[in-house]
Amino acid sequence: MTEKPILVTGGAGFIGSNFVLSWIGRKGSPVLNLDKLTYAGNLGNLAGLKNNPGHLFIKGDIGDRALVRELLDRHRPRAVVNFAAESHVDRSIHGPEDFIQTNVNGTFHLLQESRAYWEKLAGNEKNTFRFLHISTDEVYGSLGPGDAPFTESTPYAPNSPYSASKAASDHLVRAFHHTYGFPALTSNCSNNYGPYQFPEKLIPLVIMNALNRKPLPVYGDGLNVRDWLYVEDHCEALRTVLAKGKPGEVYNIGGRNERKNMDVVRAICSLLDELRPLSSTDNYASLITFIKDRPGHDRRYAIDARKIERELGWKPAESFETGIRKTVQWYLDNMNWVANVASGEYQKWLDTNYTNRGTA
Ligand code: NAD
Ligand code: DAU
């Protein structure tokens, strides 16, 4: 690699793989992709990059200090973009330990090695190096119906083991900038959806269950609100933060697409009624089933994205309506991908989370 690469962690997961694909598609600098390939990592997402000299995949853990050090010293990246994480709230409820290992300890080790590498750089290389930490709006806690959306100065109030572990990692990133002058930036984004999302998350799970004529599980009363962003809009925001963001700053990313879960599920059902109709008397919404709520379920998230819009000039391209149509169509066109990820481990997860859960 002659041009300086970027090191992407978690680049075989949902957002990471979308980021790597569009980064390389736009002729960005080469990518070193470090991913542990947990259940959520899938090299099939990156099949389009096979034999592409701009993409080097390394299977490994962000907490493996020796490996990270070796990668940094050998390839001398100009930036680290940290997507690697355990990302599913329900899994964090059933087993929080992996979340602490990767999201807290792993991020800490990655920060330590990245700082040591940065400290040895000189001149322009040192001045332009960036560490971009990808985080979530869940660190801000839960909003009431009339509350203003989260800003960058909303106090942290994480409610799940997942969001607590992400909050801890955000604090470490902040402290590394404040204490050592390390050029780190943090982005806190709302719920993403789009191609390659693992079908444990609401939108792909509902699409997949509907196509298999299985119940569409809605937690509680279905009135929890999430603020949805099409994944490519998130990737564009991250490219913008990397190029123009100020070290030490935090940027909230969201698309002003607040929707109740029930409305999201109904929107998917009506798209499927149009694109893959059942019989003339049946519709997908008849599969909707209310089940027992997620413990500690946050009621509402909403992002105030005015800072990134104003200071960096980013705006989302997709509305929820255009993005969800693209997404449903992508899953219909990529049923092989879905069949491949719905493996034995995935079936075990469905049993853990959904069997004997009872109705709401
Ligand atoms: P994902 O679960 O789909 O992918 C995570 C990836 O990280 C996987 O490829 C996995 O193999 C890898 N990974 C896990 N532990 C690792 C380790 N110790 N070392 C190296 N790789 C490891 O997650 P996602 O939905 O793509 O989320 C990516 C990031 O964005 C996460 O940090 C998440 O907190 C954040 N985020 C997600 C959303 C969302 O809606 N999905 C929204 C905002 C922020
Ligand atoms: O807000 C950003 C976060 O969005 C990210 O940080 C997380 O990594 C990502 O997983 C996502 O978290 P959520 O918990 O909001 O996403 P999930 O898809 O799991 O759930 C979305 C909503 O749908 C939530 O209110 C719970 C509900 N739900 C979820 C599932 C899986 C259901 O009603 N039924 C389900 O089967």
pLDDT for 27: 86
In the block, residue with structure tokens 């100065």: 153
As a whole number, mean pLDDT of residues 75-104 equals: 98
Give the pLDDT confidence of 114-142 residue by residue, as tens digits: 999 999 999 999 999 999 999 999 999 99
Give the pLDDT confidence of 248-259 residue by residue, as tens digits: 999 999 999 999
Could you tell me how far CA 275 lies from the centroid of its own chain? 27
pLDDT for 85: 99
pLDDT classification of 360: cutoffs 50, 70, 90: confident
Active site residue 137: yes
Query: Ligand 1 in contact with 191 (CB < 6 A)?
Result: yes
pLDDT classification of 2: cutoffs 50, 70, 90: low
Strand partners, 56: 32
Using alpha carbons, select from 149, 147, 141 the residue that is nearest to residue 166: 141
224 alpha carbon – ligand 2 mean position (Å): 10
pLDDT for 1: 52
Dihedral (Cα; 257, 259, 261, 262), 10-degree rounding: -130
Ligand nearest to the CA of 166: 1
Catalytic residue among 35, 61, 138, 304: 138
Question: Under 8 Å CB-to-CB from 333, ≥6 apart: which residues?
Answer: none
Rounded Cα gap, residues 227 and 259, in angstroms: 6
Strand partners, 150: 303
pLDDT classification of 344: cutoffs 50, 70, 90: confident
pLDDT for 227: 98
278 alpha carbon – ligand 1 mean position (Å): 35
pLDDT classification of 296: cutoffs 50, 70, 90: very high
**What does the H/E/C string look like for the chain?**
CCCCCEEEECCCCHHHHHHHHHHHHCCCCCEEEEECCCCCCCHHHHHHHCCCCCEEEEECCCCCHHHHHHHHHHHCCCEEEECCCCCCHHHHHHCCHHHHHHHHHHHHHHHHHHHHHHHHCCHHHHHHCEEEEEEEHHHHCCCCCCCCCECCCCCCCCCCHHHHHHHHHHHHHHHHHHHHCCCEEEEEECEEECCCCCCCCHHHHHHHHHHCCCCEEEECCCCCEEEEEEHHHHHHHHHHHHHHCCCCCEEEECCCCEEEHHHHHHHHHHHHHHHCCCCCCCCHHHHEEEECCCCCCCCECCECCHHHHHHHCCCCCCCHHHHHHHHHHHHHHCHHHHHHHCCHHHHHHHHHHHCCCCEC
Using alpha carbons, select from 88, 351, 82 the residue that is nearest to residue 242: 82
Phi and psi dihedrals of 10, rounded to 5?
A: 70, 25
CA-nearest residue, atom 23 of ligand 2: 202
pLDDT classification of 279: cutoffs 50, 70, 90: confident
Give the pLDDT confidence of 29-41 residue by residue, as tens digits: 999 999 999 999 9
343 alpha carbon – ligand 2 mean position (Å): 21
Share above pLDDT 70 across residues of the chain, in percent, rounded to a whole number: 99
- Is the pLDDT at 280 greater than 80, yes or no? no
**On the CB side of 189, how many CA atoms lie within 13 Å of its CA?**
25
Share above pLDDT 90 across residues of the chain, in percent, rounded to a whole number: 94
pLDDT classification of 303: cutoffs 50, 70, 90: very high
Of 261, 262, 288, the residue with max ligand 2 atoms within 8 A of its CB, to mutate for a pocket test, comes to 261
138 alpha carbon – ligand 2 mean position (Å): 10
Give the pLDDT confidence of 172-191 residue by residue, as tens digits: 999 999 999 999 999 999 99
As a whole number, mean pLDDT of residues 208-221 equals: 97
Phi and psi dihedrals of 212, rounded to 5?
A: -95, 10
